Amino acid sequence: MSTVSEIASNKEIVTITSDTGKSAYDVAVLMKNKKVGSVIVMDKESRPLGIITERDMVKRVCLKDLATSRIKAEEIMSSPLITIMSYDSIDSASTVMTKNKIKRLVILEADNRITGMLSVSDITKYLAKILLDNYNRYKSLRFAIDLA
């Protein structure tokens, strides 16, 4: 079975550093400009602290009718950050995502360095490819069924 690092998209991982005074508005602009659905919040030593997703923005800012320029990024981030190791299986990743009701997992190397992000979309694309490959393989064997 494949590992999470083999199927994760190679999109840029966008990060901000905590305690820089970034507001929810700043994060929203960054997400829009970088065309991403999440931003990782790092501490001063470049260790991941949490994540801000589009869902966090909706639930913790928009639905509470808060002024985006007044709310700090650290106040809306989901923490602790739920991660998975690059060598872990896709099955393990799916289990972690389901258990924690999340759509993204940050991928770490053994030294705790972020190497990627795995999303539900990545897993869906991988499974769709397996289904298509199997369909094509068995379709080519149809003649054997017709002979029986």
User: For residue 147, is pLDDT > 70?
Assistant: no
Alpha carbon separation from 103 to 14, 23, 54, 96 (Å, rounded): 16, 23, 11, 10
- Nearest CA to 90 out of 33, 18, 5, 147 is that of 5
Tokens 């999440």 locate to: 38
pLDDT digits (tens, 9 = 90+) for 18-66: 988 899 999 999 999 999 999 999 999 988 999 999 999 999 998 888 8
User: Can you give the residue range of the structural domain that contains 21?
Assistant: 4-147
Write the pLDDT tens digit of every residue in 79-88.
Answer: 999 999 999 9
Q: Which two tokens stand for residue 66?
A: 């808060």
pLDDT higher than 90, residue 105 = yes
User: pTM for the whole thing?
Assistant: 0.83
CB atoms within 10 A of CB 72: 16
What is the percent of the chain where pLDDT is above 70? Answer: 93
Q: Which residues are CB-contacts of 31 (< 8 A; sequence separation ≥ 6)?
A: 14, 37, 38, 39, 54
Residue 68 sits at φ, ψ, to 5 deg, of -60, -30
Evaluate whether 27 touches 73 at the Cβ level (below 8 Å): yes
Q: How many domains does the chain contain in total? A: 1
- Pick the more confident residue, 134 or 110: 110
CA dist., res. 27 & res. 31, Å (int): 6
Half-sphere exposure of 18 (CA within 13 A, CB side): 19
148, pLDDT greater than 60: no
- 143 band by pLDDT with thresholds 50, 70 and 90: low
> pLDDT class for 14, splitting at 50, 70, 90?
very high
Provide the CATH number for the domain around residue 36: 3.10.580.10
